[in-house]
Amino acid sequence: MDRVIIVGGGLAGTRAAEALRARGFAGALTLVGAEARRPYDRPPLSKAVLAGDADTSELTADWDALRCDLLLGERATGLRPAPGRGGTLATTAGDLPFDGLVIATGAVPVLLPGPGRQHVLRTHEDAHELRGHLRPGARIVIVGAGWIGAEVATAAAKKGCRVTVAEAGEAPLVQALGADLGARTAPWYAAAGVELRTGVRVASVEDDGLLLAGGERLAADAVVTGIGVRPEVGWLDGSGLDVELGVLADPSLRASIGGVPRPDIVAVGDCAAWWSNRHGRRVLAEHWDAALNAPEVAAATLLGADAVYDAIPYFWSEQFGHMVQYLGRHEDAERRIDRGDPAGPSWSTVWLTGDRVDAVLAVDRPRDLVQARRLMAAGTPVDPVIAADPDIPLRQAVRVRPS
């Protein structure tokens, strides 16, 4: 393999370049990034950058030492895989031949209809533009009480803005956690002086705010849309690669054509829908943790090693003075155990199937998450009664089976 191209200038693309060199790849390496700036980390955009505590979140990669050519401000426009191996990547800078390809093009925000300006929070420029609107007394309307919506509301409230959050569901985080658990975070909005309106549907974004489905208008100096993202895979149309929402990848992160894996094309990060042996399903994990860790497996696969990515999905959010952490998947769990009073300063929820931990949600209880991760990784059985006691560490809930 003489030439590898990485498509995508975010964390996943950067980690792929580092992993390839660390594994001994000595050929030509090029990173194609749509943004005209060096790769940076995205989580700080809704935290330190938006709050004004930092101006940049550029990653600290040593591109000279990596011997990686940066083709920034250029987009991938198409892909022509050659039969068997290799192919050509079409970009706004021209066609680039490759022997190996890493697809790490991330995701793009979902937008609402309407002629008005709607802010999103995905890029460095997005964060700085929105930050300029966060002034005392400014009317900020946020659509979506999900992870990003809550973090933007937190920053705006701290800046003295008059903040309204319009959520279509019956509670915050309803899609991620369900209405019951999501409702536990609703008091955080009120405590921060943020008006939370649930069950609200938007007809369109107007020049002066939002037009709701029932005809009501919400005046705003700035409208922020935080209703989710979609994998950036439109440029793969006509390539023959199997794409369904994201790039379909096997446990080794190999993309495929007609269901046949391509050892020379791998997909990582927000655009990859990889098969998880652990969960027995495809996982589209649009979270920082996957962008950080999956490229190590992708690089190994590309260089011919046997490697499988089967990490437990992890996500965290800082909102209204709380650290919220989630690990695993709870959709198919048999039961839920609450640890602690949800009205108190800290609590967690554990999902079980039988006596195995499927997922954990921890609010200001980081030890619960750390200990649950170890239990989940090892498949260790736990005693549900002991696990429900918030005063007993989760690690002490291990069930000892009779010999």
DSSP string spanning 134-179? --TT-EEEEE--SHHHHHHHHHHHHTT-EEEEEESSSSTTHHHH-H
Q: What is the pLDDT of residue 368?
A: 97
Average per-residue pLDDT for the chain: 95
The CATH T-level fold of domain 3-108+229-302 is FAD/NAD(P)-binding domain (3.50.50)
- Which residue, among 95, 122, 93, 128, has the nearest Cα to 108 in the 3D structure? 122
C-alpha of 348 from chain center: 21
User: Which tens digits make up the pLDDT trace of 319-378?
Assistant: 999 999 999 999 999 999 999 998 888 999 999 999 999 999 999 999 999 999 999 999
Share of the chain above pLDDT 90, in %: 94
Q: Does position 106 have pLDDT exceeding 70, yes or no? A: yes
Q: What is the pTM of this model?
A: 0.94
The superfamily (CATH) of domain 111-225 is FAD/NAD(P)-binding domain (3.50.50.60)
Domain boundaries, given as residue ranges, for the chain:
3-108+229-302, 111-225, 321-397
pLDDT tens, position by position, 125-151? 999 999 999 999 999 999 999 999 999
Instruction: Count the residues in the chain.
Output: 403
User: Is the pLDDT at 403 greater than 60, yes or no?
Assistant: no
Q: Is the pLDDT of residue 213 over 90?
A: yes
Average pLDDT over residues 91-110: 97
Quick one: which of 155, 168, 195 has its CA closest to 321?
155
So what's the pLDDT on residue 229? Answer: 95
Helix (H) or strand (E) holding 68: strand 68-72
What string of DSSP letters covers 91-107? ETTEEEEESEEEE---E
Q: What does the alpha-carbon distance between residue 35 and residue 56 come to, in Å, rounded to a whole number?
A: 14
3-state secondary structure at position 189: helix
Amino acid letter, residue 146: G
Instruction: Report pLDDT for 345.
Output: 87
Which fold does the domain 321-397 belong to in CATH? Enolase-like; domain 1 (3.30.390)
Instruction: Give 285: exposed, middle or buried? Use CB within 10 Å, 0-12, 13-18, 19+.
Output: buried
The tokens 């060096």 sit on which residue? 38
* Residue 101 binned pLDDT confidence (cut-offs 50, 70, 90): very high
Q: What is the pLDDT of residues 80-95, one digit of tens each?
A: 999 989 999 999 999 9
Residue range 16-25: mean pLDDT, rounded:
98
Banded pLDDT at 42 (limits 50, 70, 90): very high
User: Taking Cα atoms as reference points, which of 337, 348, 313 lies closest to residue 327?
Assistant: 313
Helix 11-22 and helix 288-302, axial crossing angle in degrees, nearest 10: 40
Task: Give the whole-angstrom CA distance, residue 267 versus residue 252.
Answer: 9
Q: Of 293 and 345, which is predicted with more confidence? A: 293
65 CA to centre of own chain: 29
Beta partners for 357? 352
Q: Residue 402: what pLDDT?
A: 53
Q: 3-108+229-302 and 321-397: same fold?
A: no
Largest CA distance in the chain: 70
Q: Residue 401: is its pLDDT beyond 80?
A: no
